[in-house]
Amino acid sequence: MQFSIAIIALFGAAVSALPTEEKRQAYIPCSGLYGTSQCCATDVLGIADLDCGNPPTAPTDATDFSAVCSGIGQRARCCVLPILDQGILCNTPTGVQD
């Protein structure tokens, strides 16, 4: 009798310790120096990108970032400093196929 109570208590403790839902980290497409995520239309030698703007919706992953920008006819970019709809020093985010 005591053994079965101990087993039930052990299983109860094990089940309550299991997480109920997997928690995911938020997707951060751009970090460090190239910290501003942008959707840009034209790349000029990797130095400047023209007609840039913030993505219309927050991307959930690299594929979604590319799809969000493609949906408005632009490409996903990470830029150092966006000024007047121009991205200065931009590169392609990790995981995004150009």
| CB-CB contact of 75 with 40 (8 Å) | yes
**pLDDT tens string 73-96:** 999 999 898 888 788 888 888 888
Q: Which of 6, 77, 18 is nearest to 48 (CA)?
A: 77
Q: Domain containing 76: what range?
A: 27-91
Rounded to the nearest angstrom, the gap between the alpha carbon of residue 41 and the centroid of all alpha carbons in its chain is 20
Q: Is residue 56 in a domain?
A: yes
pLDDT in tens, 34-68: 888 999 998 888 778 888 889 999 888 989 999 99
Closest CA to 37 of 72, 80, 70, 67: 80
CA angle 75, 33, 81 (to 5 degrees): 60
In-domain check, residue 45: yes
| Residue 54 forms part of a structural domain | yes
Number of domains in the chain: 1
